[in-house]
Amino acid sequence: MTRLLLFLVTLLSSTIAVSEWYSLPKTTQGHELRYDNSSNRVEIVNDTGNRPLWSGVHRLEDGRVLRIQKGVAIADQTVHRAISTPQQQPDQVDACTVLERKSCGLRTDCALSDSCQLAHQLQGFYNSASLSDRTKIESQCKEAINNESMFPPCPTPPAGAYHTVCGDIVIKSCGKLNQCQESDACDAARQLLSMENEERLNKWVPSEDTYTTKQCEKAFADHDFFPFCGEK
């Protein structure tokens, strides 16, 4: 009997997948992550004990986007690419341009606001300054970006500044009348749209698709993670 039990234990242990944890780039909030390749689990690493990364959409510091459901990464190869190949940083504009776009709106919806006009002045100072002075002015613009009391961001249209599939996911999961706004799927969809908008603020040509736009194209067909409003 004992020999039979030992045989069963040996057999089972040989068939159980061995976890192999990989370090991932941190989230933009600074959380250190690790990934188990046998189960697709993603955990936050800290001194008080590791815990599963919460459900939702998360951006890594290298620009990649993770979709997590109950602690498990959705199988869209994002994690695998993050492990093996760091993403090339996209083309970026100066901080004063970002401030102007953020305050005025990508489609200049807030062009008449005081914050937009002030941001536009800073952008003008930056463009006309010498190379040595540009560093100082850009530093001021970086501080201004984080000062939302003086430079409140122009509200993003519900479906985004440009019509993309990220906005379609918001309509799909939140509802045309926003009737599913309290759902987890709606919250995740809005996170994706916010990420896409943030990337557009930094692109040379903001109307071009971003990394998150491409993630949304894959995510739209995931009806389990992003169900139509009213289906769940």
pLDDT at 160 over 80: no
Average pLDDT over every residue of 113-126: 92
**Domain housing 109:** 95-145
Q: pLDDT-based confidence at 117, cuts 50/70/90?
A: very high
CATH number of the domain to which 74 belongs: 2.40.10
* Predicted local distance difference test score (pLDDT) of residue 81: 54
Give a yes or no: residue 2 inside a domain: no
* Predicted local distance difference test score (pLDDT) of residue 91: 62
Structural domains of the chain, count: 3
* Predicted local distance difference test score (pLDDT) of residue 3: 46
Inter-residue contact 120 to 100 (CB < 8 Å): yes
**Chain centroid, CA 172 distance in Å:** 19
Residue 103's CB: how many other CB atoms inside 10 A?
27
Q: What is the pLDDT of residues 124-137, one digit of tens each?
A: 999 888 888 888 99
Q: pLDDT-based confidence at 52, cuts 50/70/90?
A: confident
CA-to-CA dists, residue 107 to 58, 95, 198, angstroms: 26, 18, 14
Domain boundary among 40, 59, 84: 84
* Predicted local distance difference test score (pLDDT) of residue 14: 39
Q: Which residue has the higher pLDDT, 202 or 1?
A: 202
* Predicted local distance difference test score (pLDDT) of residue 100: 95
CB proximity list for 40: less than 8 A, separation 6 or greater: 72, 73, 75, 79
Inter-residue contact 138 to 177 (CB < 8 Å): no
Label residue 149 exposed, middle or buried (CB < 10 Å: 0-12, 13-18, 19+).
Answer: exposed
CB proximity list for 12: less than 8 A, separation 6 or greater: none
Transcribe 67-89 into DSSP letters: EEETTEE-SSSHHHHHHHSPPPP
Q: What is the pLDDT of residues 11-30, one digit of tens each?
A: 334 334 445 677 777 887 88
- 77 lies in the same domain as 100: no
* Predicted local distance difference test score (pLDDT) of residue 75: 55
- 45 lies in the same domain as 68: yes
Give a yes or no: residue 90 inside a domain: no
Q: pLDDT-based confidence at 77, cuts 50/70/90?
A: low
Give a yes or no: residue 26 inside a domain: yes
